[in-house]
């Protein structure tokens, strides 16, 4: 390890060089028999200890021109007492900050990390019987604690994907804190990640894509569910006509919309999962959606399109009401294999299904919803042009239009 030299005005005339093994070398010149002679002294301790000794040397040189070294026992300064076991919350905060500053995660991922870490802290406190706002001993974290924590998450009704998501966040914080030594008393995580993060079952029949009639039924129930409001219906109607995810609709700002009074408005999509979507893209908007967008924008020039967002329980209540009334099939928003609910993907699936049944090519649909090209050739030579995109969005019907007859449902492959 390369030595680091520190020359500070706090101890003039003395240099401090950090060595390996907790050693530091002090260098200075003092008067011996009328001549200035170079001196050095190696001590053990922290950088703060070395600086304290350097200050003592500097003060002695200023007073007498020389420094009398203490005995060998005094060469090893007493280390300040440190807590034997650190606070696990420091690992969570440090891991979250590392993800933001070093990994540069998106705002959505940042919020999801914060939500998962808060839940992990709450569950650990419940398992260990710790009151709120008290330190969580780092040595509590073990494979057994992880197993019990996952069991609590599962008992709360979370599906396999959600369980894996929470435990993956816990694993990441544990591994980061162990690698960096940020928390005292924290043991190393198991080398096998699967001992902490559960696997998610795959295979079986995919979820179904809803028909336009089913999506309109969902909009109908958005207006009658007690906890619902106009924002919930607006969110669902935008998803139905654009194929965007909830997070993408949440990210729409007034300044992202252009030409609302033109035959075909445009939308700048600035939120997404793929690299292509994060770079931003502009797509035409179905003309049938323009009246709603004009109403939401009003006279505003900037700001979020939807001032408030409906909660997840509200959206789930709308879907359950539509399912309970027999207006939609359960497998358009529930994953029978994993037991979890897909509150945002059903509209994305229904949008693609409708355009495919109208004869729109997959490459055009991929551009509208932000999918990457299936092959390198498609990405270079077969991208959709603007006229094809405009023609496609014109095929999106208004809510309750008569051409929404139920048809054979095809599973969503992507």
Residue of 281, 288, 273, 277 whose CA lies nearest to 241:
288
Averaged pLDDT, 255-280:
84
Q: Is 80 among the domain residues?
A: no
Q: Is 252 among the domain residues?
A: yes
Q: Is 200 among the domain residues?
A: no
Whole-Å CA distances, 266 to 215, 258, 289: 23, 5, 11
Residue 411: predicted pLDDT: 41
Q: What is the CATH number of the domain that holds 365?
A: 1.10.443.10
Averaged pLDDT, 333-346:
72
Residue 243: predicted pLDDT: 92
And the tokens for 188?
Answer: 């190393």
- Rounded-to-integer distance, Cα 152 and Cα 155, Å: 5
Q: Is 403 among the domain residues?
A: no
Based on the fold, state whether residues 258 and 382 are members of the same structural domain.
yes
Angle at 305 between CA 303 and CA 307, to 5 degrees: 80
Mean pLDDT, all residues of the chain: 83
Last residue of a domain, one of 167, 195, 223: 195
Within 13 Å of residue 40, how many CA atoms lie on the same side as its CB? Answer: 6
Last residue of a domain, one of 75, 102, 122: 75
Cα distance between the two ends of the chain: 51
Residue showing tokens 């000794």: 53
- pLDDT bracket for residue 59 (50, 70, 90): confident
Averaged pLDDT, 319-323:
91
Q: Is the pTM of this model over 0.75?
A: no
Query: How does pLDDT run across 66-85, given as a tens digit for each residue?
Result: 888 776 544 554 444 444 68
Total of domains in the chain: 3
Based on the fold, state whether residues 35 and 105 are members of the same structural domain.
no
Choice between 246 and 275, residue whose per-residue pLDDT is larger: 246
Choice between 337 and 348, residue whose per-residue pLDDT is larger: 348
Q: Do 211 and 351 meet the contact criterion of CB atoms below 8 Å apart?
A: no
- Measure CA 132 to chain center: 25
Q: What is the DSSP letter of 79?
A: P
- Rounded-to-integer distance, Cα 398 and Cα 224, Å: 20
CB atoms within 10 A of CB 22: 15
Q: Domain limits at 383?
A: 212-393
Q: Is 149 among the domain residues?
A: yes
For residue 372, pLDDT beyond 60? yes
Residue 78: predicted pLDDT: 47
Based on the fold, state whether residues 54 and 153 are members of the same structural domain.
no
CB atoms within 10 A of CB 278: 14
Q: Do 15 and 50 meet the contact criterion of CB atoms below 8 Å apart?
A: no
- Say what angle helices 107-128 and 143-155 make with each other, to 10 degrees: 100
Q: Is 168 among the domain residues?
A: yes
Angle at 172 between CA 170 and CA 178, to 5 degrees: 100
- Rounded-to-integer distance, Cα 172 and Cα 165, Å: 11
Based on the fold, state whether residues 260 and 359 are members of the same structural domain.
yes
Q: Is 113 among the domain residues?
A: yes
- Rounded-to-integer distance, Cα 396 and Cα 248, Å: 19
Based on the fold, state whether residues 373 and 297 are members of the same structural domain.
yes
Q: Do 323 and 330 meet the contact criterion of CB atoms below 8 Å apart?
A: yes
Based on the fold, state whether residues 165 and 313 are members of the same structural domain.
no
Based on the fold, state whether residues 60 and 15 are members of the same structural domain.
yes
Residue 167: predicted pLDDT: 95
Based on the fold, state whether residues 169 and 224 are members of the same structural domain.
no
Residue of 176, 212, 171, 214 whose CA lies nearest to 193:
171
Residue of 164, 400, 370 whose CA lies nearest to 280:
370
Whole-Å CA distances, 288 to 42, 172, 298: 79, 45, 17
Query: How does pLDDT run across 151-184, given as a tens digit for each residue?
Result: 999 999 888 888 999 999 999 999 999 888 888 8
Residue 88: predicted pLDDT: 94
Residue 279: predicted pLDDT: 67
- Rounded-to-integer distance, Cα 318 and Cα 324, Å: 10
Based on the fold, state whether residues 244 and 327 are members of the same structural domain.
yes
For residue 99, pLDDT beyond 60? yes
Based on the fold, state whether residues 237 and 347 are members of the same structural domain.
yes
Within 13 Å of residue 149, how many CA atoms lie on the same side as its CB? Answer: 32
- Rounded-to-integer distance, Cα 376 and Cα 158, Å: 38
Based on the fold, state whether residues 251 and 358 are members of the same structural domain.
yes
Last residue of a domain, one of 75, 102, 120: 75
Q: Is 401 among the domain residues?
A: no
Based on the fold, state whether residues 97 and 228 are members of the same structural domain.
no
């Amino acid at each position: 390890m390369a030595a680091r030299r520190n020359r500070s005005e706090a101890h003039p005339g003395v240099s401090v060089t950090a060595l390996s093994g907790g050693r530091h070398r002090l260098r200075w010149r003092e008067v011996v028999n009328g001549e200035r002679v170079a001196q050095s002294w190696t001590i053990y301790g922290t950088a703060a200890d070395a600086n304290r000794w350097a200050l003592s040397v500097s003060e002695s040189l200023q007073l007498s021109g020389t420094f009398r070294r203490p005995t060998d026992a005094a060469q090893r300064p007493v280390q300040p007492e440190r807590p034997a076991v650190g606070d696990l919350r420091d690992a969570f905060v440090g891991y979250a900050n590392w993800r933001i500053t070093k990994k540069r995660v998106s705002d959505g991922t940042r919020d999801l990390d914060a939500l998962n870490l808060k839940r992990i802290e709450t569950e650990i406190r419940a398992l260990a019987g710790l009151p709120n706002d008290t330190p969580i001993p780092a040595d509590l974290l073990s494979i057994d604690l992880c197993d019990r924590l996952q069991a609590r998450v599962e008992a709360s009704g979370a599906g396999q994907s959600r369980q894996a998501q929470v435990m993956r966040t816990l694993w990441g914080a544990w591994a980061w804190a162990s690698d960096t030594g940020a928390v005292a008393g924290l043991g190393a995580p198991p080398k096998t990640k699967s001992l902490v993060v559960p696997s998610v079952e795959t295979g079986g029949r995919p979820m179904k894509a809803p028909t336009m009639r089913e999506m309109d039924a969902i909009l109908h129930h958005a207006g009658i569910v007690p906890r619902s409001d106009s924002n919930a219906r607006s969110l669902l109607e935008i998803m139905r006509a654009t194929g965007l995810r909830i997070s993408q609709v949440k990210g729409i700002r007034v300044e992202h919309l252009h030409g609302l009074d033109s035959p075909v408005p445009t939308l700048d999509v600035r939120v997404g999962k793929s690299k292509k979507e994060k770079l931003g893209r502009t797509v035409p908007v179905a003309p049938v959606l323009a009246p709603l967008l004009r109403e939401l924008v009003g006279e505003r020039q900037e700001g979020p399109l939807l001032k408030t967002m409906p909660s997840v329980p509200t959206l789930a209540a709308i879907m359950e009401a539509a399912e309970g009334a027999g207006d939609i099939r359960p497998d358009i928003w529930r994953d029978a294999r994993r037991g979890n609910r897909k509150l945002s993907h059903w509209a994305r699936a229904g949008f693609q299904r409708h355009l495919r049944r109208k004869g729109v090519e997959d490459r055009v649909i991929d551009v509208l919803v932000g999918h990457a090209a299936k092959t390198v050739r498609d990405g270079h030579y077969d991208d959709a042009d603007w006229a094809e995109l405009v023609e496609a969005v014109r095929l999106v019907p208004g809510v309750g239009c008569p051409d929404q007859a139920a048809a054979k449902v095809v599973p969503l492959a992507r």
